Structure formats: structure tokens, C-alpha cells
Structure 1
Amino acid sequence: MGPDRDVSKRRGERPPVPDALPVPVVDAHTHLDACGAVTPDQVGELLDRANAAGVDRVITVADDLASARWAAEAATWDDRVFAAVALHPTRTSTFTDEDRAELTRLAGQPRVVAVGETGLDYYWDYAPPAAQHEAFRWHIELSKRVGKPLMIHDRDAHDDVLKILDEEGPPSTVVFHCFSGDLAFARACVERGFVLSFAGTATFRNAHALREAAAWAPADHVLVETDAPFLTPHPFRGRPNEPYCANYTLRDLATLRHVELAELAATVTRNAERVFGLRDGVES
């Protein structure tokens, strides 16, 4: 069998579980249900694989009301799981008062540690910009009302995301999930005190501008995430992603930033605990 056919055969396989990190880290943004872990046993098995790689806690993130309910419930099944709830910008063409009431209720639950992912997405056309803007402003207000971090989805919308945050006044903690900007945008975010969460895209060898931003970002503004099952890091791009693959991204970032792996792991863990209020499997 030729090498191209061999790669194609492996495309549907999970990457190997790597050796454990020297210091455990938090996967700051994943979608356990989309990874196929929807029962308590499945969630436990997935988290066991993550633990074997040194990823000891995860934040599972909702993109619609059904997944928000599920995420909030799943976070009660296992001390290693926390949740974030919101309506994804691509889902905002219909956003009712009942939806808002439900998200408000879920956001107040103790194992829900962030409002997200919310923001703007100009890549897809599932929801008009006006509806996205209105929903984004509402989520900003919810984040401030419940006193929990705002988790931003920003796709092809850098300027408008910052404009709305400036107009509304951001919450005390804002996280740019799967940060996708260049160095100038990273500087604009950090100047405002925002946190940058880097996913597997920051390991892609053709993502030069993003890798420049990841190399520059101040240490206390950096998180690591998978966005699993999407965005599997190099060299496994295109294969299924899981929280344990945050290990690969962290290793790549340590090399890119010219720091020891243990130092970066300890830093992003402290950052995640500070940002989301995590302490030893419980929220502070």
C-alpha cells in the first residue's frame, strides 16, 4: 500500500495518546457531545484518555439550547468537566425570550463557568449580522450579570467584535476562543485585558500570522484548547480531535515560544484556574 493510501486510511483514526505532560493542563474549550461522548460512561472514558496525556480538566461548550442543557448536566457527572453555555452566533437567526430565560437559568448553575461561545461569524451565512449583533450584546450583558467570563467566537469579524465589546463595555474577563487573529489584533485584545485561547490551528505550519501572534502573546494571557472534535493539531490535521490532543498543541506552543514545556503547562493551568475559577475539580 502506498503512503498516500495509508494516510487516507488513518484519517478517520484518533491520533495516538501522547506521553503525559509534566504538569496537567485544562482544555479550555471542547465539545464533548460532538466528540461522541454523550453518556456518563462515555464522558468518563474520554476524560480518562485525556488524563493519560496530562489533560486533567475540560470545559465543554454549548452552541445551541439542547447542547447547553446537556453541557450543564454533563458537568455534574464528572469532577473533571465544567461547562459554558450560550447560543452560537450562527444559530441566532431565531432567538426568543424563552431561549434567553433558559440560558440565564443555565448560566447561573455552579458548574457552568462561562457564557459562551458567543460573538460573530461572518464566514457562514446562517444568521444575518443584525441578529448576531443583537444576540452578542445580550450575551455580553448576561456575562456581566452572572459574573462569569465571556467566551468569544470570532470568525472573519475581528473589527466588529471589538467594536461591540467597546460599545457595550466588556465583562471583567473575556476569552477569545480559538484565537484566529494576527499580531496586531492580538495586541489590540491584550491591551483590553482579554485572554487568547490557542487551538490546533496555532500549530498549522501555513498559519504564519497566527503563529506570530501565539509566539508573542504575554504568558498570563494564554490558554490552550482543542475545540474538539475539530481542528486537530499538527501533525494529525484532519483526523478526529479529542481533549487529550491539547497535549500536542501545548508542546508545539512551547517550542514556538522558546519556553520549557513544564513552564508553559504550569502557566496555562494557572491561567485557566484564574479565568474560570477552577480549583481541584471544583469551581471556587
Structure 2
Amino acid sequence: MLVDTHTHIHDPRFDADREAVIKRARTTGVDVMITVGTDLATSRAAIALAKQHSFIYATVGVHPHEVKDLTSEILAELRVLAEHPRVVAYGEIGLDYYYDHSPRDIQRERFKDQLSIARTLDLPVVIHTRDAQEDTLAILKEDWKDRPGVFHCFTGNPVYATQALQLGFMVSFSGIVTFPKATELREAVRVVPLDRLLIETDCPYLAPIPHRGKRNEPSYLPAVAKTIAAEKSPTSLDEIARVSSDNAKRLFGIAVQG
């Protein structure tokens, strides 16, 4: 059994074959999926999909790319959505200085605003961070230390992973960990204890080897788990599946039975 802790299977790129994608995931042992909102519309879509399947859960939040349009009215709507029983976390939220689709000062302000909602509702957070290590850590240290959450699709080095762990976070690895040039990322895998490790596809993005270049989907998650197991040798693939599923259950409060 595997838990894909970060998907976007509500995304329109799955509209033509979504149920087939979900069935393939279950057939390959991915028994639970979390589908993640990135703005108000996708947060609603994530909840709608989670309502249709007992083994799919949702998160709500506004991605740093979109926070330039995040008003107090939308924040209020997100707070209401976040109280839905199918919602297990708030996110994905954070900072992205690589693309800078939203001004950095606005990113920081809205990151704090959304952390406040999550804190009020006692939800774990799903963190997106890219090229913003210093500011991300500073905000979390001030506003979220020793509270539950995950650095999703982690792409940093072992030092950054250690800093995330010191704040009390779990660390999640995606298909990037399978890429030949991701040597430093695989080194980061080795410093993350088994009880703080999560895995994800981040589909439809970032398909792992040997599926790279295709639309990603949850059925590809075993490729991520296999690479993690290799880096954690002699830990077996079955053990990686078990501990990462247990960690997901603990962080998100979800049922992991198939």
C-alpha cells in the first residue's frame, strides 16, 4: 500500500480519463491519494473530487504564484472550505522566487495570512518553496515552529532538509529524485529519518524515470518509492511503503486502508 501525498488529479488534464487514472493507481498499490488546491477554484475542485471517493482527500490553499490575486474575501472563503471534513491540510502555500509570478512582499504577507488560517483550524500545512530558502525558513520559524506540516516536492540539499526537520516538518520526495542529475537530492533522502519521510507524484507534473516526459499520474508512485528504498538500503521497498503510509496517516489524520 502506498499513499500519494500530493497530486492534482482534479486538474483538467485528467478530465478525459480521470476515473481510469484513479483505477490504475489502485491497481498498482496506490490506495490513498491527496489532491491539492492551488487557488480558490482548484480548492473547490479538490473537495468535489474527494467527496466522490472515500480514499481521496483534499487540501485547500493558494499557491505563491497566485497570491497576487488573493483578497481578504477569498481568504475568508478558503477558511470556510478548509473546515470541510474531506480537507486534511492547508496548502499548498509558501514562497516561489524562481518565477516571481507574484511580488515577493505579497508572497510573504499572504504566506503568513494562510499560516494563520491553518493555525486557527489546527490543520497541517503543505509547503511549496523554490529559490526562497532563507525567507521560507524564517517565516516558518516565527509562525509555525514545531507545528505539523510537510515540505512538498523537496528539491533542496541535505542542509536544507535538516533545517526543515529541525522545524518539525516532514519532507516529501517526488519523481525528481529519480532524475539522473538529482545527485544532491538523493543525498538529502539519506538524512531524512524514516519517520519523517513522505512520497508523492505531484501529478500531472514531474513524471519519474522511466516515465519522464509523460503526463504524470499516481500509478507512477512506485518508481519514487523504489528510488527512495535504494538510497535507504538495506531498507526494503515494502518498508518504505509502510513507513511513508504510516507517516501520511499520522500527519494528515487519514485512513490508509485500501
The two structures share one fold, judged by TM-score above 0.5: yes
TM-score (norm 1): 0.87
Q: For 2:246, which of 265, 270, 281 is the aligned residue?
A: 270
| Counterpart for residue 147 of structure 2 | 172
Q: For 2:225, which of 217, 225, 250 is the aligned residue?
A: 250
Please tell me whether the aligned partners of residues 59 and 84 of structure 1 are also in contact (alpha carbons under 8 angstroms): yes
Distance (whole Å) between structure 1 residues aligned to residue 216 and residue 99 of structure 2:
22
Shift of 1:70: 0.8
Counterpart secondary structure, 2:155? coil
TM-score (norm 2): 0.95
Structure 1 unaligned regions, length at least 5 = 1-23
| Counterpart for residue 14 of structure 1 | none
| Counterpart for residue 199 of structure 2 | 224
Counterpart secondary structure, 1:161? helix
| Counterpart for residue 108 of structure 1 | 83
1:26 aligns to 2:3 (yes or no) = yes
CA RMSD of aligned residues (A): 1.5
| Counterpart for residue 173 of structure 2 | 198
1:261 aligns to 2:240 (yes or no) = no
Q: For 1:148, which of 123, 128, 135 is the aligned residue?
A: 123
Closer, same or farther in 2 for the Cα pair 1:162/1:60, shift >3 Å?
Answer: same
Shift of 1:90: 0.6
Please tell me whether the aligned partners of residues 150 and 171 of structure 1 are also in contact (alpha carbons under 8 angstroms): no
Distance (whole Å) between structure 1 residues aligned to residue 225 and residue 14 of structure 2:
23
Shift of 1:47: 1.5
1:95 aligns to 2:70 (yes or no) = yes
Please tell me whether the aligned partners of residues 141 and 167 of structure 2 are also in contact (alpha carbons under 8 angstroms): no
CA deviation map 1:62-120 (0-9, x unaligned): 11111111111111001111001101101011211110111001111110101000000
The code of the aligned residue for 1:275 comes to L
Distance (whole Å) between structure 2 residues aligned to residue 262 and residue 111 of structure 1:
28
The code of the aligned residue for 1:131 comes to I
Q: For 2:163, which of 185, 188, 198 is the aligned residue?
A: 188
Alignment size in residue pairs: 257
Please tell me whether the aligned partners of residues 79 and 281 of structure 1 are also in contact (alpha carbons under 8 angstroms): no
1:52 aligns to 2:27 (yes or no) = yes
CA deviation map 1:155-197 (0-9, x unaligned): 1111110001112234620100001110001111112211001
Distance (whole Å) between structure 2 residues aligned to residue 93 and residue 171 of structure 1:
28
Distance (whole Å) between structure 1 residues aligned to residue 188 and residue 180 of structure 2:
14
Distance (whole Å) between structure 2 residues aligned to residue 201 and residue 37 of structure 1:
21
Please tell me whether the aligned partners of residues 173 and 198 of structure 2 are also in contact (alpha carbons under 8 angstroms): yes
The code of the aligned residue for 1:278 comes to I
Shift of 1:38: 4.3
Shift of 1:57: 0.7
The code of the aligned residue for 1:166 comes to K
Please tell me whether the aligned partners of residues 59 and 90 of structure 2 are also in contact (alpha carbons under 8 angstroms): yes
Q: Which runs of 4+ in 1 moved over 2 A?
A: 33-39, 42-45
CA deviation map 1:14-73 (0-9, x unaligned): xxxxxxxxxx1110000012263348xx54322110011110010001111111111111
| Counterpart for residue 36 of structure 1 | 13
Q: For 1:85, which of 47, 60, 65 is the aligned residue?
A: 60
Distance (whole Å) between structure 2 residues aligned to residue 228 and residue 27 of structure 1:
10
Closer, same or farther in 2 for the Cα pair 1:223/1:204, shift >3 Å?
Answer: same
Please tell me whether the aligned partners of residues 179 and 196 of structure 1 are also in contact (alpha carbons under 8 angstroms): yes
The code of the aligned residue for 2:224 comes to T
Please tell me whether the aligned partners of residues 84 and 114 of structure 1 are also in contact (alpha carbons under 8 angstroms): yes
Distance (whole Å) between structure 2 residues aligned to residue 54 and residue 159 of structure 1:
37
